Structure 1
Amino acid sequence: MTGRAGGAGVVPEPGALVHPPDRPTLLPEGHTNAVGLTLGLVGDEWNLLILRYALLGVRRYGEWRAALPISHAVLTRRLAHLTEMAIFERVGYEGTANRFEYRLSRRGRDLWPILLSIWGWESAWVPSHGESLPRMLHRRCGREFLPVLTCAACRRPVRPRDVVGGFGPSGTWERSVPMATTRRRSGPTGEAGAGMFPETMALIGNRWSAAILGGAFQGLHRFRDFEQRLGAPPTIVAERLRVFCELGVFEQTPSAERSDWLSYHLTDKGRAFFPVVISAIDWGQRWFTAPEGPALLYTHRPCGHPFHTQLTCATCTTPLRGNEITARHPS
Structure 2
Amino acid sequence: MIHPPDSPTTLGEGGDNAIAWSIGITADEWTLLILRYALSDGVTRFQQWQDLLPISSAVLSDRLKRICEVGILEQAAYTDKPLRQEYRLTPRGISLWPMMAAICGWESTWAHGQAEPVPVLVHRRCGRRFDPLMACACCGEMVEPREVTGRFGPSGSWPRSAPNTTMRRRSSGSSALGPGFFPQTRVLVGNRWSAAMMGAAYLGAHRFSEFQRRLGAPATVIADRLRRFQAIDVLLPTGEERGDRSSYHLTDKGRAFFPVVMSAIEWGQRWFLAPEGPAVIFQHRDSDHPFSVLLRCSECSGALAGRDIAVLPGSAMQPRHGAIPS
Tell me if TM exceeds 0.5: yes
Residue correspondence of structure 1 range 159-174 to structure 2 within 5 A: 159-174=144-159
RMSD: 1.7
Q: Quick one: which amino acid aligns to residue 107 of structure 2?
A: E
**Residue 177 of structure 2: SS of its match in structure 1?**
coil
Unaligned runs of 5+ in 2: 317-326
- Aligned counterpart, 2:298: 314
Runs of 4 or more, structure 1, over 4 Å off, are none
C-alpha separation in 1, matches of 2:145 and 2:257: 9
- 1:279 is displaced (CA, Å) by 0.6
- Aligned counterpart, 1:201: 186
Q: 1:282 to 1:260 in 2, by over 3 A?
A: closer
Identity %: 51
Whether 2:135 is the aligned partner of 1:153: answer no
Q: 1:187 to 1:288 in 2, by over 3 A?
A: closer
Q: 1:43 to 1:194 in 2, by over 3 A?
A: farther
Residue correspondence of structure 1 range 223-238 to structure 2 within 5 A: 223-238=208-223
User: Which of the numbers 255, 264, 268 marks the counterpart of 1:284?
Assistant: 268
- Aligned counterpart, 2:27: 43
Whether 2:198 is the aligned partner of 1:213: answer yes
| CA displacement, residues 31-68 of structure 1 (integer Å, 9 cap, x when unaligned) | 11100110111110100000000012000001001010
- Aligned counterpart, 2:257: 273
- 1:308 is displaced (CA, Å) by 1.0
C-alpha separation in 2, matches of 1:260 and 1:201: 27
C-alpha separation in 2, matches of 1:97 and 1:292: 48
Q: Quick one: which amino acid aligns to residue 200 of structure 1?
A: T
- 1:294 is displaced (CA, Å) by 0.4
Q: Is the Cα contact below 8 Å between 1:254 and 1:260 reproduced in 2? A: no
Unaligned runs of 5+ in 1: 1-15
Whether 2:230 is the aligned partner of 1:245: answer yes
C-alpha separation in 2, matches of 1:207 and 1:293: 23
Q: Is the Cα contact below 8 Å between 1:129 and 1:195 reproduced in 2? A: yes
Residue correspondence of structure 1 range 113-124 to structure 2 within 5 A: 113-124=98-109
How many positions carry a matched residue from both structures? 312
| CA displacement, residues 209-259 of structure 1 (integer Å, 9 cap, x when unaligned) | 11111100010011011111100000010011011011100000117xx99
- Aligned counterpart, 2:277: 293
**Residue 275 of structure 1: SS of its match in structure 2?**
helix
Q: Quick one: which amino acid aligns to residue 144 of structure 2?
A: R
Q: Is the Cα contact below 8 Å between 2:18 and 2:273 reproduced in 1? A: yes
- Scaled by the length of structure 2, what TM-score is found? 0.92
- 1:99 is displaced (CA, Å) by 1.4
- 1:97 is displaced (CA, Å) by 6.5
Q: Is the Cα contact below 8 Å between 1:179 and 1:207 reproduced in 2? A: no
**Residue 79 of structure 2: SS of its match in structure 1?**
coil
Q: Is the Cα contact below 8 Å between 1:178 and 1:211 reproduced in 2? A: no
Whether 2:218 is the aligned partner of 1:222: answer no
C-alpha separation in 1, matches of 2:212 and 2:220: 9
